[in-house]
Amino acid sequence: MLTFAVLGLFVLVIAFSFAAVLSGLDVPVLGGGVVAVVPIHGTITMGGCPAGLFDSESCADVDEIKDLLKSADRDPSVKAILLDVYSGGGNVVASRELMRAVKGTKKPTVAWIGEIGTSGAYYAASAADKVMADENSMTGSIGVIMFVEHYYGLFDWVGINVTTIKAGDSKDIASPYRPMTDEERLELQSMIDKVYDSFVADVAANRHMSQDDAKKAAQGRIYLGVEAKDVGLIDELGGYDDAVARAAVLGGIKGEPEVRKPDKKVRLTDLLK
C-alpha cells in the first residue's frame, strides 16, 4: 500500500511536469528542505511579555525563542534556521541567554537584521553562523547602560521626607531619595564595566575578532549595515530573501526551500479590528 502511494505520487509529479512543458508553464523546482524562521522582535526579556487587558507589549521572550530553536533542531525536515531580528536589545541576562541558545543550535543559522538589531539583539545575532543586514539597517550599539533617577530635589521642594532604615552600607545604593556618593558611583561603574567586558569578549569570540578590534567596533556606536560590514560586525549585505537563500545554501538545500514561520499569536485587539 505504501509502495503504491509513493509510486502514484511519482507518476503524478511526472505527469504534471510533462503537462507543464507542453503548455509552456514554468515547472516549480521541488525544494529539499525547510528554512525555519525564528523571529526576534521587540525587547528581549525572560518570563513573558508584560500584558494588559487588551494588548501586550511587543517583546522577544527568550523561553519561547529557545523552544522554537530546539524544535527546529529536532525536526529532520529543517535544514537551516533564519533569525529574523527586529529589536533594539533588552535585559542583560536575557540577551546573554538568547546568545547562548543561538550558539548552541545544531543546524546552520543565519541572522538577518531588518530595521534594527542593536545591543542585546546584536549580541544574540553575533552567535549565528552568518550575520546579514540591509545596508541601511541599524546595528551594533555594543555597550551597557544603567539609569539612576533621583527625586530628592523634587521632594525637598514639595516638602516630602523619606527616612531609610537599612542594614548594610550599600543596601540603598542608587536610592532616588538622596544624592549618590562617589564611592557608590565607582561601585556601579565597576559593575557596568565588567558586564561590558563580557559583552565585548563574547562578540569577539562569536565573530572571530581580536579583543582590540571588537572593542574598537564597540563603544556603544550604532552602525548602518554597510558600516557594520566594514568593521566586521556582519558578513554580508542583503535583504530578507537573500538571507533565506544564504540559509538554504548553508543547509545544503537544493532548489527552492520551504520557508516555515511560527504561527502568529492572536491578540484580543486583532479580533476587534
Q: What is the pLDDT of residues 207-249, one digit of tens each?
A: 999 999 999 999 899 999 999 999 999 999 999 999 999 999 9
What single-letter amino acid sits at 272?
L
Given 17, 58, 77, 171, the catalytic residue:
171
CB 140 within 8 A of CB 118: yes
DSSP codes joined into one string, 183-246: HHHHHHHHHHHHHHHHHHHHHHHHTT--HHHHHHH-TT-EEEHHHHHHTTS-SEE--HHHHHHH
What percent of the chain clears pLDDT 70, i.e. is strictly above it?
82
What's the length of the chain? 273
* CA pseudo-torsion sign 149, 153, 158, 162: positive
The three cell numbers of residue 78 are 529543517
- Of 106, 129, 109, 110, residue with least CA distance to 207: 129
Given 79, 87, 107, 119, the catalytic residue:
119
Confidence of residue 31 (pLDDT cuts 50, 70, 90): low
Lowest mean pLDDT among 141-150, 161-170, 258-267: 258-267
Residue 87's beta-bridge partner residues? 117
Give the residue, 147 or 126, on which the prediction is more confident.
126
Return the CATH number of the domain spanning residue range 30-141+221-263: 3.90.226.10
- Residue 171 annotated to the active site: yes
Q: Please tell me the distance from the alpha carbon of residue 184 to that of residue 191, in angstroms, as a whole number.
A: 11
| Alpha carbon distance, N-terminus to C-terminus of the chain | 49
- Residue 166 annotated to the active site: no
pLDDT attached to residue 58? 75
Give the burial string for 116-142 (b: 16+ CB within 10 Å, else e): bbbbbbbbbbbbbbbbbbbeebbbbbb
pLDDT attached to residue 28? 39
Side-chain half-sphere CA neighbours of 115 within 13 A: 7
